Chains A and B, each alone.
Chain A
Amino acid sequence: AQKITQTQPGMFVQEKEAVTLDCTYDTSDPSYGLFWYKQPSSGEMIFLIYQGSYDQQNATEGRYSLNFQKARKSANLVISASQLGDSAMYFCAMRVTDSWGKFQFGAGTQVVVTP
């Protein structure tokens, strides 16, 4: 069975600092995709970044980068130069082919950026 684990329920980070959000996953399928989403208090889930299991390089999207360590089955999100607008819930998710492509979400990490 596939599983996504986010062990940090919440964290505070100071504006302009970098923050790393942990995500570990478990699957026996060699083909999978890893995704990160941001959910502000308004409720909408916003797609941030994607990493494929066969990708050789870590994904980057602006201030977001993904630290992908395949052997350790971890896909940590790094947000550089945090901004007040980064305060939100962050979800790690995985999609694998052997579960008919069903998305699995982690429990989420609440990030609060302070001035």
Chain B
Amino acid sequence: KAGVTQTPRYLIKTRGQQVTLSCSPISGHRSVSWYQQTPGQGLQFLFEYFSETQRNKGNFPGRFSGRQFSNSRSEMNVSTLELGDSALYLCASSLNFLSVGSGNTIYFGEGSWLTVV
């Protein structure tokens, strides 16, 4: 069974531009969550989507947005990029968003490395 797929893997953008990252979850998984990882801040939760609705949200400015499609694929968008947005963006999928059982383990993609210059 295919894992979580993120595209693109690497990208370089200029300050002020916007970027869209894509995530395809494991087949059958309906929950997709996004994380930002930087050396200084560690892993920070961005948001989680389930059934095309945002269910959880972290403490990020409105420049960070996301959406989920009917096939559970998700995209996140960052507008007006800043140097501080340079990070590894990780997408993860799970069966649903509420259960804490082992069957609802979240599995991660390989991440998208974003560099803002």
- Partner of A91 from the list B43, B45, B98 (CB cut-off 8 Å) is B43
- Partner of A100 from the list B90, B98, B101, B106 (CB cut-off 8 Å) is B98
Query: In the complex, A32→B99 CA distance in Å?
Result: 9
- Partner of A43 from the list B42, B45, B100, B113 (CB cut-off 8 Å) is B113
Whether a CB of chain B sits under 8 angstroms from the CB of A73 is: no
Contact B101 A102 (CB under 8 A): no
Closest partner residue, chain A, to B96 (CB atom):
A101
Give B79-91 as 1s and 0s: 1 = Cβ < 8 Å from A's Cβ atoms: 0000000001010
- Partner of B108 from the list A31, A45, A50, A102 (CB cut-off 8 Å) is A45
Residues of B within 8 A of A107 (CB): 42
- Partner of B45 from the list A35, A42, A44, A102 (CB cut-off 8 Å) is A102
Give B44-72 as 1s and 0s: 1 = Cβ < 8 Å from A's Cβ atoms: 01001000000110000000000000000
Residues of A within 8 A of B97 (CB): 100-101
Count, A-B residue pairs, CB within 8 A:
68
Residues of A within 8 A of B99 (CB): 97, 101
How many chain B residues touch A (Cβ–Cβ < 8 Å)? 26
Contact A101 B98 (CB under 8 A): yes
Whether a CB of chain A sits under 8 angstroms from the CB of B21 is: no
Closest partner residue, chain B, to A59 (CB atom):
B102
- Partner of B33 from the list A33, A35, A52, A103 (CB cut-off 8 Å) is A103
Interface residues of A (CB under 8 A from B): 31-33, 35, 37, 42-47, 50, 52-53, 91, 95-97, 99-103, 105, 107-108
A selection of 14 A-B contacts at a CB cut-off of 8 Å is A33-B104, A42-B110, A43-B88, A43-B110, A47-B107, A52-B100, A53-B100, A95-B100, A95-B106, A97-B100, A101-B48, A101-B56, A101-B100, A105-B42
Q: Please provide the 3 A-B residue pairs with the shortest distance between their CB atoms, ordered closest to farther.
A: A45-B108, A33-B100, A43-B111
